[in-house]
C-alpha cells in the first residue's frame, strides 16, 4: 500500500521530503481510509530534496476530499490507517523513511505522480491517531447582479423617485414667499444664457450617447440602437426562457407527437438551407410546440422558438408554415428583441425627465396623475407601437427571403394573411385601426408581401 515516485541514487544522507499537493474536490465528509472502493485520482506531485534537514520517522501525507486538508503523522516503521469510514474517495501517499547518518552530494528530485491506482483493502488495518490537521476553507462566491436586471428591478423605483422629486419641487415653490419667488425669477432671467448653454450641453451629450450606441445590421444595412451588451442580453434571454418553460411545461407536445415532428421538419429544413448566413449558423436553434388555441408563435434571442397549435391549425400547407417560421427566425437574427428593449430603456429615461416636470408644474396631484397617464399613452402610441410595426415589416421581408432560399412557394405568405383577414371578418370582431396595434393589419401585410415577392429573387445580404 505504498506508492512512490522519486528517490534517485539515495545513499547515506539525511533527506527531507516536501509534498506540495494541489487538489480540488467537491465536498469533504470526514477522514476515511478503510474503504473497499477507492477511486482513481490524477494529481501532480513535486518532490524536492534539501540537504541538511532530516526526519527519522515515517513521513505519511494524506489528502482528503473537500477543500485542502492535510494530515501528517509520524511513526517509526509501521503502516497505519485513518478512522471513521464515511467517504469513498481518498488519495493516500505513504513513504517509509529511515535515517542515514552520512551525506552525499546535493541533488534535486522531481517526479510527477500521474495516476494513483485503485486501492482495495481486504484485511483489518492498524490505526494511528491524527496529530495535526490544517483546514483551508474558501468563502462562497457571490455574483453582482447584471446591469439589465438592475434596470428592470429599479424601473418602478425610478418612476417613484421622479414623482417624489417633482412633487417636492412643487411644494418647495408653493412654500416660498412672494418676494423670494420674484428674486428667483429675476435670477433665471439674468442667467438665461448660462441655463441655455447648460441645457445645450446636456443635449449634446445625449446626442453623442445616442450615436455612439448605433450599430449597422449586417443583413439589412440599417442602423439600430443597442444599449445592452450581448452578454447581458443573453442572461435576460435565459431568464425569459426559463419563465416560458415554467409557464408552458404542462402544455408541451412530446417529441413523438405528429404535430411536433412535422413542425420540426419544416423548421430545420429552413435552418439547413440558410446555414451559410453566420447569424443563423451561430445560434443553437430549438423548436417547441405548445398545446394552445392561440394563433401565435414567438422566438427568443437564444434561438428557442415557441409555436402554438392554434397557429398550426390555421395554416393550410407547409408553405405557409415555412413563412411563419422564417418570420420568427428573422426576428432572432436581426436582433429585434435587443433593439426594442434598447428603445424602451431610452424612452423610459427621457420619460423620467418629463414625469418630474409634470409633477413639478401640476397644481394638484390629480392633474399630475392625468398628465402622467397622457404621457405614457403618448409614448406608447407615438413611439413604441409604430417601432414595433416597423420591426414586424422588416421580419416579413427577411423571412420571405429565407423561405425563398429553401424553395418554398413565397406566394403562400400573402395568401395566409388574406385568410386571416377573411376569418376576422366572419367572426364579426371589431376591426381596430392599425395605429393601435403592435403589428400591421392583415390586409396591409398581404399587400406589403405581394410587393416584396419580385424582390426575393435577389440573394440575401450576408
Catalytic (active-site) positions: 328
Residue 211 C-beta-side C-alpha neighbours within 13 Å: 5
SS3 459: coil
Report d(CA 372, CA 447) in Å as an integer: 38
- Reference 30, options 77, 75, 85; nearest CA is 85
How far CA 71 is from CA of 1, 12, 110, 132, 216, in Å, comes to 17, 28, 22, 6, 61
Query: Does residue 244 contact residue 307 with C-beta atoms inside 8 Å?
Result: no
Residues in the chain: 462
Calculate Rg over the CA atoms of the chain. 36
Please state whether beta strands 223-225 and 214-216 pair in parallel, antiparallel, or not at all (unpaired).
antiparallel
SS3 71: strand
Interacting residues of 187 by C-beta distance below 8 A, sequence separation 6+: none
How far CA 327 is from CA of 220, 276, 301, 400, in Å, comes to 15, 18, 14, 7
Report d(CA 343, CA 228) in Å as an integer: 10
Report d(CA 453, CA 399) in Å as an integer: 11
Q: Which grid cell is 402?
A: 429565407
SS3 133: strand
For residue 91, list its beta bridge partners: 63
Please state whether beta strands 58-63 and 91-95 pair in parallel, antiparallel, or not at all (unpaired).
antiparallel
SS3 16: strand
CB atoms within 10 A of CB 437: 13
In the sheet where 286-290 sits, what is the strand order? 286-290, 304-308, 297-299
Report d(CA 370, CA 359) in Å as an integer: 10
For residue 19, list its beta bridge partners: 47
Report d(CA 449, CA 428) in Å as an integer: 25
Q: What share of the chain is helix, strand, coil (3-state, %, to 5)?
A: 50, 10, 40
DSSP type of residue 256: T
Amino acid at each position: 500500500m505504498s506508492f512512490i515516485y522519486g528517490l534517485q541514487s539515495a545513499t547515506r544522507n539525511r533527506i527531507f521530503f516536501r509534498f506540495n499537493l494541489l487538489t480540488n474536490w467537491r465536498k469533504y465528509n470526514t477522514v476515511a481510509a478503510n474503504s473497499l472502493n477507492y477511486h482513481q485520482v490524477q494529481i501532480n506531485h513535486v518532490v524536492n530534496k534539501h540537504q541538511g534537514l532530516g526526519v527519522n520517522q515515517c513521513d505519511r501525507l494524506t489528502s482528503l476530499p473537500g477543500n485542502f486538508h492535510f494530515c501528517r503523522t509520524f511513526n517509526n516503521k509501521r503502516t497505519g490507517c485513518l478512522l471513521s469510514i464515511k467517504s469513498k474517495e481518498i488519495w493516500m501517499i505513504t513513504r517509509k523513511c529511515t535515517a542515514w547518518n552520512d551525506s552525499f552530494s546535493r541533488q534535486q528530485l522531481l517526479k510527477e505522480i500521474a495516476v494513483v491506482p485503485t486501492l482495495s483493502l481486504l484485511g483489518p488495518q492498524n490505526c494511528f491517531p491524527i496529530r495535526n490537521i490544517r483546514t483551508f476553507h474558501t468563502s462562497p462566491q457571490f455574483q453582482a447582479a447584471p446591469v439589465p436586471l438592475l434596470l428592470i428591478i429599479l424601473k418602478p423605483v425610478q418612476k417613484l423617485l421622479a414623482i417624489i422629486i417633482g412633487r417636492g419641487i412643487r411644494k418647495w415653490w408653493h412654500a416660498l414667499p412672494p418676494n423670494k419667488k420674484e428674486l428667483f425669477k429675476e435670477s433665471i432671467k439674468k442667467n438665461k444664457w448660462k441655463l441655455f448653454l447648460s441645457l445645450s450641453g446636456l443635449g449634446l451629450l445625449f446626442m453623442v450617447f445616442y450615436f455612439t450606441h448605433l450599430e449597422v445590421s449586417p443583413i439589412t444595412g440599417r442602423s439600430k440602437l443597442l444599449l445592452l451588451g450581448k452578454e447581458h442580453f443573453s442572461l435576460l434571454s435565459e431568464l425569459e426562457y426559463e419563465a416560458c418553460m415554467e409557464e408552458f411545461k404542462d402544455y408541451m407536445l412530446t417529441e413523438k407527437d405528429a404535430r411536433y415532428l412535422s413542425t420540426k421538419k419544416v423548421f430545420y429544413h429552413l435552418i439547413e438551407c440558410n446555414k451559410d448566413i453566420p447569424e443563423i449558423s451561430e445560434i443553437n436553434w430549438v423548436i417547441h410546440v405548445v398545446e394552445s388555441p392561440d394563433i401565435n408563435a414567438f422566438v427568443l434571442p437564444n434561438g428557442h422558438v415557441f409555436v402554438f397549435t392554434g397557429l398550426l391549425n390555421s395554416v393550410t400547407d407547409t408553405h405557409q408554415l415555412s413563412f411563419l417560421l422564417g418570420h420568427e427566425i428573422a426576428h432572432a437574427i436581426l436582433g429585434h428583441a435587443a433593439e426594442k428593449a434598447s428603445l424602451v430603456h431610452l424612452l423610459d429615461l427621457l420619460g423620467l425627465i418629463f414625469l418630474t416636470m409634470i409633477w413639478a408644474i401640476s397644481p394638484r396631484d390629480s392633474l399630475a396623475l392625468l398628465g402622467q397617464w397622457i404621457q405614457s399613452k403618448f409614448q406608447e402610441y407615438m413611439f413604441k407601437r409604430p417601432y414595433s410595426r416597423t420591426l414586424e415589416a422588416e421580419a416579413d421581408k427577411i423571412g420571405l427571403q429565407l423561405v425563398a432560399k429553401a424553395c418554398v412557394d413565397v406566394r403562400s405568405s400573402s395568401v395566409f394573411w388574406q385568410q386571416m383577414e377573411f376569418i376576422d371578418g366572419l367572426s364579426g370582431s371589431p376591426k381596430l385601426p392599425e395605429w393601435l396595434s403592435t403589428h400591421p393589419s392583415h390586409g396591409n401585410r398581404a399587400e406589403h408581401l405581394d410587393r416584396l415577392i419580385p424582390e426575393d429573387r435577389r440573394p440575401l445580404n450576408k
